[in-house]
Amino acid sequence: MPRASAAVAAQTAQRVLDSATRLFASRGYAAVSLDDVAQSAGVTRGAVYHHYANKAGLFGAVAASLQANVADAVAVAAEVAGAQPAEQLRAGSHAFLDAITAAPAVQILLIDAPAVVGWQEWRRLDAQNSAALLREVLREVGVADALLDATTALLSGAMNEAALWVAQSDETETDTARDQAHAALDRLLASFLP
C-alpha cells in the first residue's frame, strides 16, 4: 500500500538515511540491523531495500553524506582564511578537527567505514573530499611533488586520530582535550609553514 510518489519517496529515502545515520553513529555498524533502521524510520525493510542495494550500500550513502558535510566545512573555513596557503592550511585543519568531532561522524567515518566499505574505497571517498583540499594546499605551501601523496596521508591520518582522541576522551574533559589537540596540531603544522 504505497501512499507515496516522486517527492514523497525521496523524503522516505531521506528519513531512512537519517535514521541509519543516528543508529550507526550510536551503536556502530555491526550492532544495527536493517529492521532497527526501518522501524526507526517508520517503514519496513522492504522500503529500505527499495532505496538502497543492501546494508553496506546504505552505510555507504550515510558515510558519503557525512563526508561531504565535513569537506564543506573545511572548504568554507579555508576560503574565509584568505588567499595565503599557509593560513588556509591552518584554518582548514582546525575546521576539519571541529567538524568531524562535532557530528555523529567519528564512529561512522573513522571507525566503521574503513572496515565496511574497504580501505581503498574509503580513501577514494576521502580523496574526493577533504583530503583533496589538504593535498592541494600542501602543494601550494611547498611540499615536494614526490612526497605529496605520502605527506597528505600522514597529516590526514594525524588529524583523523586526533579527532578520535577528542571524541572518545572523557566526556567531562572534551573541551580541554580539544584545546590540546588543536595546540598539538599547530605544533605539527608549524614545520610546514614559513
Partner DNA sequence: TTCCCTTACGTACACAGAGTATGTATCCTG
Partner DNA sequence: CAGGATACATACTCTGTGTACGTAAGGGAA
Query: Quick count: other Cβ atoms within 10 Å of Cβ 132?
Result: 15
**Cell output for 63:** 558515510
114 counts as binding a second copy under rule CB under 8 A: yes
Site residues (CB under 7 A) for DNA, limited to 31-90: 32-35, 38, 43-47, 49-51, 54-56
12 makes contact with DNA (CB under 7 A): yes
156 touches 126 (CB < 8 A): yes
CB of 166 to a second copy, least distance (A): 9
The residue to which cell 600522514 is assigned: 154
Q: Which spans in 28-147 are helix H?
A: 34-41, 45-51, 55-80, 85-102, 105, 113-117, 119-127, 130-140
Asked whether position 191 contacts a second copy by CB under 8 A, the answer is yes
| Rg of the chain in Å (alpha carbons) | 19
Q: Does 180 bind a second copy (CB under 8 A)?
A: yes
Compose the 86-105 pattern: x for residues touching DNA by CB under 7 A, - for all others: --------------------
For residue 52, give the DSSP letter. S
User: Shortest Cβ distance from residue 132 to DNA (Å)?
Assistant: 30
Judged by beta carbon, residue 49 or residue 165, the one nearer a second copy is 165
CB under 5 to 8 A by kind: which of a second copy, DNA, none does 43 bind?
DNA
Q: Which of these, 134, 10, 122, lies nearest to 67 by C-alpha position?
A: 122
**Is residue 88 within the footprint of a second copy (CB under 8 A)?**
no
DSSP state of 59: H
Distance between CA 75 and CA 154 in Å, rounded? 20
Cα angle: 82, vertex 83, 84; to 5 degrees: 100
For residues 31 and 184, which CB has a smaller minimum distance to DNA in the complex? 31
Q: Point out which residues bind a second copy (CB under 8 A).
A: 28-30, 110-112, 114-116, 118-120, 123, 146-147, 149-151, 153-162, 164-165, 168, 177, 180-181, 183-185, 187-188, 190-191
Q: Point out which residues bind DNA (CB under 7 A).
A: 1-6, 8-9, 12-13, 32-35, 38, 43-47, 49-51, 54-56
